[in-house]
Amino acid sequence: MKIATWNVNSIRARADRVEAWLERTDADVLAIQETKAKDESFPWEAFEFSGYEVAHFGLSQWNGVAIASRVGLEDVERTFPGQPSFGKEGQEPVQEARAIAATCAGVRVWSLYIPNGRGLDDPHMVYKLEWLSVLRDRAREWLQEDPRAQIALVGDWNVAPQDHDVWDMQFFLDNGMTHVSAPERRAFQAFLDEGYRDVVRERLPGPEVYTYWDYTQLRFPRNEGMRIDFQLCSPALAERVSDVSIDRDERKGKGASDHVPVVIEVE
């Protein structure tokens, strides 16, 4: 079974590319982030025509997550218990459309779009760290309830956990940028400490293994990228992973997302 994750940066703008990619790669499950669509404007027919069931969670033109599966889509859950909310000053906090789960052929897949901290001193950074902390607590509880649980925490984490997960660590430090700060990295490491495994890094250990390239300043032609999209697998699921890949070619051509698909194959 192939499980993929992909931040598509607007599903309506890239429905044709996603449909073609699914047909070409024969993926069984695709977790999608940043759909930027409400449920009523999601292109359901593009997936259903190809034989996929879809669960989508979208509240506005921002954020949005989905799971498309042709191997079952059971027990759909929108948001995880205790998921933090966010609201601008003077506004009522809301739970954003950043997490959705479904069981696909026995694997509990979570499609996650972790908040972008925006700035080291920005209120969004506090929100991001709290969001990750609560998710970590839930992830720990799931393993405590069933150590053999088949869980995949996948998506755009907006964290580069190691120095070689960015093209130039000094550039990030000199500019006080997010994604590489010590608190963010500790929040990511906490999942590994609970037993979840970064199965892609285990099989692709070298530098310049990126999943994201900004649209500006020729970042992609210069290969100035970041690795911020992950598949963290529970111990029992990690044991079944037989292969991994990052489809760098999907960053090429007209209308590409700034992220690319990350794929695991499960025995």
Q: Which band of pLDDT confidence, cut at 50, 70 and 90, is reported for residue 122?
A: very high
The secondary structure of 157-184 as a DSSP string is: -----SGGGBS-HHHHHHTT-SSSSHHH
pLDDT at 207 over 90: yes
Q: Find out whether 34 is annotated in a ligand binding site.
A: yes
Q: Which residues belong to the active site?
A: 113, 156, 259
Average pLDDT (120-125) is 95
Q: What is the pTM of this model?
A: 0.97
Question: What's the CA gap between 181 and 196, in Å, rounded?
Answer: 21
Q: According to DSSP H, which parts of 4-50 are helical?
A: 11-25, 44-48
CB half-sphere exposure, 143, CA atoms < 13 A: 20
Average pLDDT (66-83) is 98
Mean pLDDT of the chain: 97
Neighbouring C-beta atoms of residue 89, cutoff 10 Å: 5
Q: Find out whether 74 is annotated in a ligand binding site.
A: no
Question: What's the CA gap between 250 and 244, in Å, rounded?
Answer: 16
Per residue in 231-242, pLDDT (tens digit) is 999 999 999 999
Q: Which band of pLDDT confidence, cut at 50, 70 and 90, is reported for residue 134?
A: very high
Which structural domain, as residue segments, surrounds residue 182?
2-266
Question: What's the CA gap between 245 and 220, in Å, rounded?
Answer: 18
Q: Find out whether 193 is annotated in a ligand binding site.
A: no
Q: Which band of pLDDT confidence, cut at 50, 70 and 90, is reported for residue 131?
A: very high
Position 244 scores a pLDDT of: 98
User: Which amino acid is present at 71?
Assistant: V
Q: What percent of the chain has pLDDT over 70?
A: 100
Q: Find out whether 158 is annotated in a ligand binding site.
A: yes
pLDDT at 170 over 80: yes
Q: Find out whether 258 is annotated in a ligand binding site.
A: yes
Position 262 scores a pLDDT of: 98
pLDDT at 72 over 80: yes
Neighbouring C-beta atoms of residue 248, cutoff 10 Å: 16
How many folded domains does the chain comprise? 1
Q: Which band of pLDDT confidence, cut at 50, 70 and 90, is reported for residue 90?
A: confident
DSSP-assigned beta bridge partners for residue 111? 100, 154
Position 87 scores a pLDDT of: 85
CB 150 within 8 Å of CB 193: no
In the numeric block, which tokens belong to residue 14? Answer: 């890239």
Q: Find out whether 164 is annotated in a ligand binding site.
A: no
pLDDT at 89 over 90: no
Helix 123-145 with 182-193: angle, nearest 10 deg? 10
Average pLDDT (77-99) is 92
The secondary structure of 125-161 as a DSSP string is: HHHHHHHHHHHHHHHHHHHHH-TT--EEEEEE-----
| CATH number, residue 124 | 3.60.10.10
Q: Which band of pLDDT confidence, cut at 50, 70 and 90, is reported for residue 224?
A: very high
Average pLDDT (249-262) is 97
Q: Which band of pLDDT confidence, cut at 50, 70 and 90, is reported for residue 107?
A: very high
User: Which amino acid is present at 73?
Assistant: L
